[in-house]
Amino acid sequence: MGQNQSTEGAIPGSAPGSGNVLEDLSELWPTAVASLATIFFLAFSPKVVGNFTSFFIIIGGVGFLVYTGTIASVLEVLSNMSLQEQLAHGAAVIAAHFFIGSQVYSLLGVDGWFKGKPKVLAMSKEQAQQEAKDNVTYPQTLPDDLKQAFDVCYISLAQELVNDLPSNYEMPQEVIDWISNMHDYNVKGGKLNRGRTVVEVHQRLAASTGVQKLSARELYRAAALGWCVEWLQAFFLVADDIMDDSETRRGQPCWYKKSDVKMIAINDSFLLESAVFRILKRHFGSEPYYAKLVDLFHEVIFQTELGQLLDLTSQPMTNDPHKHVVDLTRFTINRYQLIVKYKTAFYTFYLPLALGMITSGHGTASKLSLARNICCIIGEFFQIQDDYLDCFGDPKVTGKVGTDIQDNKCSWLVVQALSRADDKQKSILQNNYGQWNDSKVKKIKDLYVDMKLPELYKEYEEKTYTDVMKLIGDINDMPTEIFELAINKIYKRSK
Positions marked catalytic: 191, 235, 240, 244, 249, 311, 343, 382, 386-387
Pair 306, 312: CB distance under 8 Å: no
The CA–CA distances, whole Å, from 490 to 198, 310, 344, 411, 473 equal: 16, 25, 14, 18, 18
Q: Which pairs count as long-range contacts for 450-458, CB under 8 Å and 24+ apart, including other chains?
A: 451/416, 451/417, 451/420, 451/421, 451/425, 453/413, 453/416, 453/417, 454/388, 454/392, 456/416, 457/384, 457/388, 457/412
Helices 193-207 and 216-244 meet at what angle, rounded to 10?
Answer: 150
What one-character DSSP code corresponds to residue 346? Answer: I
Phi-psi label, residue 141: left if phi above 0, alpha if psi -120 to 50, beta otherwise: beta
Sequential DSSP letters for 455-486: HHHHHHHHHHHHHHHHHHHT--SS-SHHHHHH
Q: CA-CA distances (angstroms) from residue 265 to 230, 245, 338?
A: 17, 13, 28
What is the residue-wise DSSP string for 415-429? HHHHHH--HHHHHHH
Residue 243's region, left for phi above 0, alpha for psi from -120 to 50, else beta, is alpha
User: What whole-number distance in Å separates Cα of residue 110 and Cα of residue 215?
Assistant: 11
CA 136/CA 285 separation, integer angstroms: 11
Angle of the 438-450 helix axis to the 453-473 helix axis, nearest 10:
60
151 DSSP β-pair partners: none
CA distance between the termini of the chain: 91
Residue 320 per-residue DSSP state? S
Q: What CA–CA distance (Å, rounded) separates 64 from 59?
A: 9
